[in-house]
Amino acid sequence: MILDKFKKDPSAELVTVTPSVNIFEKDNEVALELDMPGADKEALDVNLEGNTLTVRGRTRKDDIPKEYQPLYTERRQVGYERRFELNIDIDRGGIKADFIHGVLTVRLPKAQSAQPRKIEIKS
């Protein structure tokens, strides 16, 4: 049988990886885009504590039907985690996140005190 050359992999555990990120800034906002392919939307967690933004997520665990015996597995459950130290004041009530096609976008509005301000010059 062709499949006889494959062996069971007993180490099929959660593997944690650091997602790739792009960070963008404009006057009133900072945006982060994190690649988290295969992540389960319900398992995503975005948390801002102090000046530390933590992003976590994981893929779904593959469920093998009970009537099947695994012969070989390379796919593992993947956990994503990344932390960012923010050096600007954030309007915590305005933080938004969305997850589309495996990309988590987190929008962090700058606090009024952190936004550029034009100063009127009087004579």
pLDDT tens sequence across 44-86: 999 999 999 999 999 988 778 889 888 887 778 899 999 999 9
CATH architecture entry for 38-60+76-115: Sandwich (2.60)
Regarding pTM above 0.75, the answer is yes
The pLDDT, as a whole number, for residue 11 is: 55
The residue ranges of every structural domain in the chain are 38-60+76-115
Q: Which of 54, 97, 96, 101 is nearest to 79 (CA)?
A: 54
Q: Phi-psi region for residue 68, left (φ > 0), alpha (ψ -120 to 50) or beta?
A: beta
Q: What is the rounded CA–CA span in Å between residue 87 and residue 72?
A: 47
Q: What is the rounded CA–CA span in Å between residue 19 and residue 92?
A: 23
Q: What is the rounded CA–CA span in Å between residue 15 and residue 120?
A: 55
Q: Which of 53, 25, 33, 22 is nearest to 109 (CA)?
A: 25
